[in-house]
Amino acid sequence: MSTVKDLGMTISRNAAVDLSAKVHYLAKVDTTGKFDLASASTDSILGVITEGAAANKPATVQYGGQSKAIAGGTIVAGDKVTADSNGKMIATTTASHRVIGIALEGGSANEVVPFVFVRMHVAVS
C-alpha cells in the first residue's frame, strides 16, 4: 500500500459513544449533533474518524480530500465505497447506497485502504 498523506478537511465534535478505538472507521452525525459510527450504507456518512474519543469528549472526523478507512470486506481499486453495519468501509454497486468515496487501492477485510472522498451520497432521493 502506498503512503497516504491526509490533506482533507476535519471537524471536531463530541462523540455520542466511545469512539476511542475507532480510528479509520466511518462516522455520521447523530440527532443530537454528536459523532457516532456509521451503521448502514444508507446513512448520511460524514467522514472518517481520525482521532477517537470517549463518549462526550471531542473526536475528530475528516470529511474531504484523501483518507483511509478500515475495510469490512474485499475492496478493489476504483470501487465506490460506503459503510457497513460496523462502520467499516465496503464496496458497493447498489443505487440506493450512499457513496462516500472511490478506493485508490485494493484491500481485504480489516485492512486500512486509501480512498478519495466524493460527494455522490448527498442527493436526496
State residue 125's pLDDT score.
39
Give the pLDDT of residue 77: 98
Question: What phi-psi label fits residue 100: left (phi over 0), alpha (psi between -120 and 50 degrees) or beta?
Answer: alpha
Per-residue model confidence (pLDDT) at position 3: 53
Backbone φ and ψ for 122, nearest 5 degrees, come out as -85, -10
Give the pLDDT confidence score for residue 119 in this predicted structure. 73
Extract the C-alpha cell encoding 2.
502506498
Give the tens place of pLDDT for each residue, 8-39: 699 999 999 999 999 999 999 999 999 999 99
- The owner of cell 475492496 is 75
Contact 69, 48 (CB under 8 A): yes
Residue-wise over 12-30: b if at least 16 C-beta within 10 A, else e?
ebbbbbebeebbbbbbbbe
Digit-coded pLDDT (tens) for 82-125: 999 999 999 999 988 999 999 999 999 999 999 999 975 444 33
Structure confidence at residue 124 (pLDDT): 39
